[in-house]
């Protein structure tokens, strides 16, 4: 009896394997985009916090600038959160594929 | 943005002072004696405004302050009333040179200016409240 | 861990601002109510002193704490990291000292204390209060979105 060869499990999609680089040369993968946007969101949040601090400790920033910075950071965070949610959904779907 | 409140308030204070001077003039229209009881007519007071560079906004607007409260240099009105206790040797009484019409028009102008500045404060408040709606 | 949940944002600073503007509102309202009272001197809470104390608290919170590396101080580990992403966990106990500025009540001598001036101060105070409350509720909404993992 032939030994049952282990079924060929499709290798996990490159997106979920952190060890692999970008899928195609010259194009950034979704993974890279996500990680970059997480870093950017953090920077934007910190900048917004600094602007708020400056406004309330007597600096000469105008309230409109500060509120816009806060709202931009807010929206950037929500967008990144949604990207991360989509990624989780994709992972769940892939995991649920019955072979 | 909040310094526009200061500018409007300086105008309110200045116009109120001007209104005080005008009401003092009108009240003392017929005053022929000074505070010591001597026969000296009341001198009308006039208020001059001056730009106040201590209160400035970022765009370059500045507030207003009272430059000086001056006594009028006009001659008092002489009226012929020989029986009056304050009549001089020739029978003339010196009355303050206050023209009620002019003073009243000035008072109207001051009160309209006061209202206009209150309107400006309303607009400023509106601006800031709308700015807050960026976040909400 | 839960207390540091609010540590990486501007929430402690905004709390102090909201408290201060509320306290100042009460004092200004008292001034306006007593405009015709003979012998009444107007009081005020100094916003300059408050802002200075706030600045000091912000700087104290940013300074890396002095305790030894590792034990007991949750934040110290993070500040040693050379990660480009800033993960400094700040010491927000310094913000409690800002409350000391509430008790210093100025008595105006010769400064313009007319009704217009008091109302002006109150209106400016109100705008600052509303702004701080708006930003504070926005921060809480953001935290809630992160906790519930719902982006909307």
Q: Where are the domains of chain A?
A: 27-95
**Cα gap C59→B33, rounded to integer Å:** 66
* Cβ distance of C138 and A79 shorter than 8 Å: no
Check CB contact under 8 Å for B6 and C120.
yes
Mean pLDDT, residues B68-91:
88
Indicate if the pLDDT at residue C76 is higher than 50. no
**CA–CA separation, C29 and C50 (whole Å):** 19
Model pTM above 0.80: no
CA atoms lying within 13 Å on the CB side of residue B108: 6
- Which residues 13-72 in chain C show a CB within 8 A of chain A? 13-14, 17, 48, 51, 54-55, 58
The mean pLDDT value for C32-56 works out to 86
The better pLDDT of the pair B124, C75 is held by B124
pLDDT score for A57: 87
Is residue B116 predicted with pLDDT exceeding 70? Answer: yes
Q: Is B123 on the interface with C (CB under 8 A)?
A: no
pLDDT for residue C66 is more than 60: no
pLDDT tens digits, one per residue of A53-69: 999 988 788 888 999 99
Confidence of residue C42 (pLDDT cuts 50, 70, 90): confident
CB contact under 8 A, A52 and C135: yes
Other Cβ atoms closer than 10 A to C150: 12
Mean pLDDT of chain C: 76
Q: Cβ of B131 and A67 within 8 Å? A: yes
| Residues A20, A30 contacting (CB under 8 angstroms) | no
CB pairs under 8 A between A and B: 18
Q: What pLDDT sits at residue A8? A: 52
Q: Which residue of B has its CA nearest to C124?
A: B2
> How much is the pLDDT for C67?
41
Distance CA B4, CA B117 (A): 11
For residue C5, pLDDT beyond 90: no
Q: Which of B112-121, C2-11, C119-128 has the lowest mean pLDDT?
A: C2-11
Reported ipTM: the value is 0.78
Q: Is the pLDDT of residue B83 over 50?
A: yes
| Domain residue spans of chain C | 9-148
Round to whole Å and give the CA distance between A49 and B91. 81
Indicate the range of A55-59, A67-71, B20-24, C133-137 predicted with least confidence: A55-59
What confidence tier does B5 reach under pLDDT thresholds 50, 70, 90? very high
Q: Does B3 have pLDDT greater than 90?
A: no
CB A68 within 8 A of CB A51: no
pLDDT band with cut points at 50, 70 and 90 for residue C99: confident
pLDDT of residue A26: 56
B40: pLDDT strictly greater than 90: no
Low-confidence ranges of chain A (pLDDT < 70): 1-26
* Of B17, C142, C40, the residue nearest A77 (C-alpha): C142
- Which other chains touch chain B, taking contact as 3+ CB pairs less than 8 Å apart? A, C
């Amino acid at each position: 009896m032939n030994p049952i060869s282990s079924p060929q499990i499709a290798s996990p999609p490159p997106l979920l394997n952190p060890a692999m680089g970008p899928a195609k040369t010259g194009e950034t993968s979704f993974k890279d985009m996500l990680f970059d946007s997480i870093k950017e969101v953090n920077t934007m949040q910190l900048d917004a916090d600094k602007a708020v601090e400056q406004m309330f400790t007597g600096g000469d920033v105008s309230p409109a600038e500060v509120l816009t910075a806060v709202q931009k950071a807010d929206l950037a965070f929500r967008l990144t959160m949604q990207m991360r949610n989509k990624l989780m959904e994709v992972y769940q779907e892939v995991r649920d594929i019955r072979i | 943005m909040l310094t526009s409140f200061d500018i409007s308030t300086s105008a309110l204070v200045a116009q109120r002072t001007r209104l005080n001077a005008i009401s003092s003039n009108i009240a003392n229209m017929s005053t022929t004696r000074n505070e010591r009881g001597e026969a000296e007519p009341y001198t009308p007071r006039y208020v001059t405004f001056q730009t106040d560079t201590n209160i400035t906004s970022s765009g370059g607007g500045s507030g207003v302050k009272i430059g000086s409260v001056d006594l009028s240099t006009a001659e008092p009105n002489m009226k012929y009333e020989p029986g009056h206790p304050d009549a001089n040797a020739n029978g003339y009484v010196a009355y303050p040179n206050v023209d009620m019409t002019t003073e009243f028009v000035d008072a109207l102008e001051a009160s309209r200016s006061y209202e206009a500045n209150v309107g400006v404060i309303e607009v400023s408040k509106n601006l800031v409240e709308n700015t807050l709606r960026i976040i909400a | 861990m839960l207390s540091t949940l609010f540590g990486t944002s501007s929430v402690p600073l905004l709390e102090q601002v909201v408290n201060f503007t509320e306290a100042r509102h009460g004092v200004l309202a008292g001034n306006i109510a007593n405009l015709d009272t003979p012998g009444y001197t107007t009081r005020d809470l100094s916003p300059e002193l408050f802002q200075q104390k706030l600045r000091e608290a912000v700087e104290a919170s940013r300074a890396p704490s002095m305790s030894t590396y590792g034990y007991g101080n949750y934040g110290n580990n993070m500040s040693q990291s050379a990660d480009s992403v800033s993960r400094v966990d700040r010491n927000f106990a310094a913000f409690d000292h800002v409350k000391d500025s509430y008790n210093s009540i100025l008595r105006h001598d010769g400064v313009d204390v007319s009704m217009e001036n008091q109302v002006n101060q109150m209106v400016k105070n109100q705008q600052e209060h509303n702004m701080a409350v708006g930003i504070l509720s926005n921060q809480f909404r953001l935290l809630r979105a992160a906790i519930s993992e719902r982006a909307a």
